[in-house]
A and B are shown apart, each in its own frame.
Chain A
Amino acid sequence: MAEQPVLRVEGLRKRVRGRWLVDGVTFDVCPGEVFGFLGPNGAGKTTTIRMLVGLVKPTAGRVVIDGMDLAQQPLAALRQVGCIVENPDLYPYLTGYENLLLFAQMQGPQAVARIDTVARWLHLSERLHDKVGTYSLGMRQRLGIAQALLGAPKLLILDEPSNGLDPPGIRDLRHFLRQLASQGMAVLVSSHLLAEVELLCDRVAFIRDGRVVRSGTVQALLQETAGEVEWQVDPLATARSVLARFACGEVLPGRPGALLCPMAADAVPAAVAALAAAGCQVRAVAPRRLTLEDVFLATTGGGGSL
């Protein structure tokens, strides 16, 4: 990574009443990338995010935003950040516009000037002057994102942004966030819905019991993780003993004339060559498509679901 990361998190820990809610979280987010912060509910995602935006003081560790240490220059650092923490909580008794105006005024005249633009981006213009109390959750989510973008932040932090969105809404949000990233914004998204993040994020970190258990680009994680590969091969008995050398588990019979072998995708070419050398005829190799969920389950040994 040649670029200077917009967000650097180093050894972040938080202890509350003798319990470590967050126990060693380290990651970077660079300009132009969408970073997924993933884990089951209660793993420490939200506590970490609250520390990133200064709502909670870390017990140990450092947060550096755009080169500024959050502990030393909290206000200057926070001006580079737009965020939604947990729910998109806004004032229900004010209109959408008034809510935006309120937070824009806290950030200065250039933020006030952006209100209309940002509202248009998120398709809020039509109901901007209705009270937020009458908005659907999806609209409130969009208003929350609009609010987060008012200050033209370098880092956008969204906690569970797809909550309350319908499938088309989720797709729109995905396109929108990718577009922001392509303009150079760094986006940090937390989620417990892995399937959705897989399509959105460039890199992810898995957090569990307050620790980052695995991180990397989505592609690399999928590559490294052993999935199941279906082999249609003859003769089965020979193939089974050959494949066992490449498997990271037991090779099992699949459909008639096929074997199911748990193995990394990287190992497939070598296995094909070995089978050919052993005189087997490979008719088809079909890796079952892996998902981030498989990666997560493999990482945590299958314990606990998301």
Chain B
Amino acid sequence: MNFAHLVWNEWMKVLRKRRLHVVLAILVVLMVVFSYAELQTAHVLARQIGTSDWHARLQQQLANATNRLHNPFLSDAEKAAIQANISIGQYELAHNINPYAPGAPGFMRTFMDQGMSLLVPLLVTVLAADMVSSEVSGGTVKLLLTRGVSRTRVLASKLAALGLLVALLFLAIAVSAYGVAGLFFGYSGFGLPVIIGFHSLPNGTVDVSHVQLIPQWEYLWMSYGCGFFASLSVACLAFMVSTLVRSTASSMGIMMAALVAGALLTTLANRWTAAKYLPVVNLRLSNYLNGSPPPLEGMTFLFSVTVLAVSALAAVAVSFAVFARRDFLG
């Protein structure tokens, strides 16, 4: 009974559960809906502006953003966000980079940048929330823990399988986004330039000293990597909740409430800066790449990575400590 066998066992269970199949089906449906919506948006905009020329569209957006800057109700941070967008737009105009260039790779990029705020962590939660609780509620934990394999190894094999599962989810996101969006926008565009390195400062100005152009495929690697890292952290938290509670429904409920609360905190309560220590507001790591200001003041890439790593490790430690001592009284 070496460890690889245990992980293989867990992997087999995960693959055969209906849960995974449902999540994959949801992904494909979402890709179709979002692709169609994006296509429609482009059509409507083209009709309103009177031309499908991207220069015109970008200029319209820039004018719009500049107007919003004069809104007296904006905080400095919000002004910085708008300022950053304007700078990026101007840079794109100056260097003749079409930010709306259609193509499946561009869609993949938007999906991950936006999806990490809620959608992707929710899917991760759906997959992770029943890793342990399903064994308890299904009664199979009684067999799993009486086969002469230590509880620590059993739990470790589950954690390893969960890591693989998150990787599978990201592969599925990439493949389904590329495959489905390609039907709408074509499959080319990995080589298109993407600007990174804008750094918006809390006082509302934008630091352009680190701006650089990279090909889109490189950006995709970075943003999917960031998403994967943040998702692993979410998975560890969900895994902990799953070892603490008995039923999958409650473990999923707790995690979803936490994720939605995190998403709300960043938009509604952005003056409560202590919230930056919560892992759920640190999930959008790729924002640090594309120049959006941090959701709360004082957050940097390194800060967010640290918060996510520390909370994941703490969650794993709690899971193992609780699981090793727990009485399974039925």
Contacts and interface: CB of A to CB of B under 8 A. Distances in A.
Given A16-B329, A50-B329, A94 B147 contact: no
Contacts of A86: 139, 142, 330
Contact of B148 (A47, A55, A56, A76): A76
A81 interface: yes
Contact of B146 (A47, A81, A105): A81
A147 to B, nearest CB: 7
Contacts of B100: none
A189 interface: no
B142 A55 contact: yes
A55 B328 contact: yes
B298 interface: no
Band of interface residues on A:
20 to 34
B43 interface: no
Interface stretch (B1-9, B180-188, B247-255): B1-9
Nearest to B9: A102
Contact of B140 (A83, A90, A151): A90
B18 A106 contact: no
B149 interface: yes
Contacts of B139: 86-87, 89
A202 interface: no
A121 interface: no
Contact of B145 (A54, A92, A98): A54
Contact of A91 (B1, B138, B327, B330): B138
A176 interface: no
A282 interface: no
Given A75-B149, A94-B16, A105-B1, A56 B8 contact: no
Contacts of A78: 146-148
Contact of A107 (B1, B140, B142, B145): B1
B148 A79 contact: yes
A108 B12 contact: no
Nearest to A102: B9
B68 interface: no
Contact of A75 (B143, B150, B330): B150
A56 to B, nearest CB: 5
Interface string A60-95: 000000000000001110110101011101111110
A103 B143 contact: yes
Contacts of B9: 102, 105-106
A46 interface: yes
Given A47-B329, A86-B330, A94-B16, A105 B148 contact: no
B47 interface: no
A93 B16 contact: yes
Contacts of A94: 12-13, 16
A47 B142 CA distance: 12
7 contacts: A56-B329, A83-B142, A89-B139, A91-B138, A91-B140, A93-B18, A106-B9
